[in-house]
Amino acid sequence: MSYQITTRFAPSPTGAPHIGNIRTAIFAWVYARSHKGRFLLRIEDTDRSREVSGATEAIIDSLEWLKLDWDQNPKFSNLIFQSQRLAIYQKYAEELVKKGCAYVCTCSEERLKELRERQIAAKQPPKYDGCCRGKIQNSKFKIQNYVIRLKVPHEGQTEFFDIIRGKVKFENNLIDDQVLLKSDGYPTYHLANVVDDHLMGVTHVLRAEEWLSSTPKHLLLYKFFGWKPPRFAHLPMILGKDRSKLSKRHRAVSLLEYKKQGYLQEAIFNYLILLGWRPQTDQEIFSRLEIIKQFSLERVQKSPAIFDQEKLDWLNGWYIRQMSASELLDRLIEYGQKFDENKTRSLKI
């Protein structure tokens, strides 16, 4: 069986995709296309309390606007929703319990809250204390109101090689016994993410730096299941020019808001690929084909990328000025038909 590089974009439908989400999607798409691989889309909708109506449609609209086409997975439907796969995650969680790699926890919410408050008061990192870890496990799962937790080894280290960051190491005794399956039967991100990445044949996981500390939990799951883990690449944060976390005060609105404001998808794509990736030359204007040919994860920086609104405006103006009069007119008509808000919006030239 031939090896084919496979990446994925796996957003949660908790709102319209923002610049950071879409930058991840672009990097994953470009990396797959640069290796003639597959780029897959998965909707991670297992956190029902945070789901926002219309968010899935916004995700698809964003990808289609940027022309980030996704591939059909031969074993799955074209678009995967984790909420439709609960029995699969439950089966794998129970398998881990039977192997002794996870355990049933019946601690109440009240007890967990009190534990957390005591730890914070003692200036300790909040972490489950293993109260249920040594209890006899019910292999038939007939008890009520339980969760299933990962049984993290107390000894040793979990280390891996990140394509961007190099060798990364975590002490196992600092890793929490993460909940894998919640009391309502829904999996947490950690379990569903690993199971689906394996079943979908994902070879390279590109995701935000904030998930770096979750990687040892995921690697332990791969080890306990006996699966080969994918390679990981944790992308640098995106900061404002003041080096603070990107927010609305930096005009860090959702991607579709930029579309509504009149920015071109060519400019957005070109600009976002430069947020963290360093070309070999000082070139700043790239065609999509040039990016695909030149892109490599080894040239993605570790340090945060700085979002510069003025540079985005300059790029947008450059792309507009390359259009013929007829093409610009067509774009303006299309824009006006889609966003007719008393004609108060205008293209950023």
Pairing of strands 6-9, 38-43: parallel
- Say if CB 200 and CB 42 are below 8 A apart: yes
User: Which SS3 state, helix, strand or coil, does residue 321 take?
Assistant: helix
Does 248 qualify as catalytic in the annotation?
yes
Q: What is the DSSP string of 35-75?
A: TT-EEEEEE----GGG--TTHHHHHHHHHHHTT---PPPTT
- Among left, alpha and beta (phi > 0; psi -120 to 50; other), residue 276 is left
- Of the residues 248, 260, 311, 348, only one is catalytic, namely 248
Q: What is the DSSP string of 220-274?
A: HHHHHHT----EEEEEPPEE-TTSSBP-GGGT--BHHHHHHTT--HHHHHHHHHT
From the CB of residue 263, how many other CB atoms can be counted at a distance below 10 Å?
A: 21
Supply 266's token pair: 């060519």
Catalytic residue numbers, as ranges: 248
